[in-house]
């Protein structure tokens, strides 16, 4: 596994890997083989957990070269957010990367990523004014800008993102489509602890009691899963789903609800309370953000029309 900290060095090692044939097995020099060699990219902010590991595994499965970036991106944090305390553990992250068969780890400093204050930001409109975008102004501009920069540095064919940040997936897909970026985004399923809590680097902030009560998030979404046949048969409204989720979360005295929203995915169009699944063409997601003390957790469930219909 190669560890690089500078952009120029990163470009050089990726160009060398592209000279290798599919699976990195033999040196080839014809342009068709160069094109066949797939670079898979997993951008992260480190403090890696099994959710990140699942992205690396998917990348390992689909790509010839796997590049992982670890960078806590300051421009996606608000002034009162947890940039300084965001958990970091480089040695452990490198062990995880090695275990998952990553080829190249990119570990830039802030000065390497932003040698001068950035004058250019990428702003995806509409999709970013809701959900986490409403609670965290400027957050998605920071995400899209750094991901665009990383795409320009790595030049990946495939890029892997977890569906826990469903809005991030929708926003990045919009950016890639709008700007004709030559990369395919691969959304990957949410990974949960055995008791249901969605994995997040921020889970370490939770006290034992907060951790216990935070299970109301996945419990509320499991209830949505349980009524998915009723949803698809249009016997429940969006408001009934929302109330079911809200009452489950409200059973935790420590839970402070930021939002519970039901939207189309990936368009993120909010649904009206009286609407039923038959009123929309797309999949829907039930998305939550809930604070426990200072820790804000997000989770969601996607109801895929086709998938549910095939089970009815």
Out of 7, 10, 18, 43, point to the residue binding ligand PAF (CB under 6 A): 43
Does 169 engage in binding with ligand PAF (CB under 6 A)? no
Q: Which is nearer to ligand PAF, 69 or 213 (CB)?
A: 69
**How would DSSP label each residue in 248-311?**
HHHTSTTEEEEEEEEEEETT-PBPPTT--GGG-SSEEEEEEEEEETTEEEEEEEEE-HHHHHHH
Q: Which is nearer to ligand PAF, 112 or 230 (CB)?
A: 112
Q: Which is nearer to ligand PAF, 143 or 199 (CB)?
A: 143
Considering CB under 6 A, how many residues would be counted as binding ligand PAF?
10
For residues 255 and 213, is the Cβ–Cβ distance under 8 A?
yes
Does 203 engage in binding with ligand PAF (CB under 6 A)? no
Does 44 engage in binding with ligand PAF (CB under 6 A)? yes
Does 248 engage in binding with ligand PAF (CB under 6 A)? no
Work out how close the CB of 153 gets to ligand PAF at its nearest, in angstroms, rounded to a whole number. Answer: 13
Closest among 293, 286, 220 to 250, alpha carbons compared: 220
CA distances to 37, 224, 278, 280, 311 from 306, in Å: 33, 16, 12, 13, 9
238 belongs to an annotated ligand binding site: no
Number of Cβ within 10 Å of residue 31's Cβ equals: 8
311 belongs to an annotated ligand binding site: no
Does 200 engage in binding with ligand PAF (CB under 6 A)? no
Instruction: Name every residue whose Cβ is closer than 8 Å to that of residue 177 and which is 6 or more positions away in sequence.
Output: none
Helix axes 238-250, 215-226, angle to 10 degrees: 150
241: left (phi over 0), alpha (psi -120 to 50) or beta: alpha
Residue 280 corresponds to which tokens in the numbers above?
Answer: 């929309």
Does 175 engage in binding with ligand PAF (CB under 6 A)? no
Work out how close the CB of 140 gets to ligand PAF at its nearest, in angstroms, rounded to a whole number. Answer: 9
Would you call 123 a catalytic residue per the annotation?
no
Q: Name the one range near ligand PAF by CB under 6 A: 140-148, 222-230, 236-244, 282-290.
A: 140-148
Residues of each annotated binding site for beta-alanine: 76
Chain residues that interact with ligand PAF, rule: CB under 6 A: 43-45, 73, 76, 143, 146-147, 165, 168
Active site amino acids: 52
């Amino acid at each position: 596994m190669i560890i690089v900290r500078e952009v120029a060095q990163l470009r050089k090692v990726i160009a060398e890997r592209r000279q290798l044939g599919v699976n990195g097995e033999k040196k080839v020099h014809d342009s068709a083989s160069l094109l066949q060699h797939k670079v898979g990219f997993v951008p992260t902010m480190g403090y890696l957990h099994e959710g990140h590991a699942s992205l690396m595994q998917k990348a390992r499965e689909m790509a010839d070269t796997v590049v992982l970036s670890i960078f806590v991106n300051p421009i996606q944090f608000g002034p009162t957010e947890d940039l300084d305390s965001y958990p970091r553990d480089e040695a452990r992250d490198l062990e995880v990367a090695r275990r998952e068969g990553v080829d190249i780890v990119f570990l830039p400093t802030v000065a390497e990523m932003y040698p001068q204050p950035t004058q250019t930001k990428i702003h995806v409109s509409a999709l970013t004014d809701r959900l986490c975008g409403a609670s965290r102004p400027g957050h998605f501009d920071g995400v899209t800008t750094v991901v665009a920069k990383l795409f320009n540095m790595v030049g990946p064919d495939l890029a892997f993102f977890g569906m826990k940040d469903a809005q991030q997936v929708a926003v990045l897909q919009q950016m890639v489509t709008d700007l004709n970026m030559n990369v395919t985004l691969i959304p990957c399923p949410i990974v949960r602890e055995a008791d249901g809590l969605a994995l997040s680097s921020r889970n370490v902030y939770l006290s034992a009691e907060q951790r216990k009560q935070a299970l109301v998030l996945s419990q509320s979404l499991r209830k949505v899963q349980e009524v998915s046949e009723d949803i698809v048969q249009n016997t429940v409204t969006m408001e009934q789903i929302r109330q079911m989720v809200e009452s489950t979360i409200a059973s935790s005295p420590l839970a402070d609800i930021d939002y519970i929203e039901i939207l189309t995915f990936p368009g993120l169009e909010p649904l009206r309370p009286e609407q039923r699944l038959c009123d929309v063409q797309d999949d829907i997601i039930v998305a939550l953000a809930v604070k426990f003390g200072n820790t804000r957790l997000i989770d969601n469930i996607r109801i895929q029309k086709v998938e549910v219909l095939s089970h009815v």
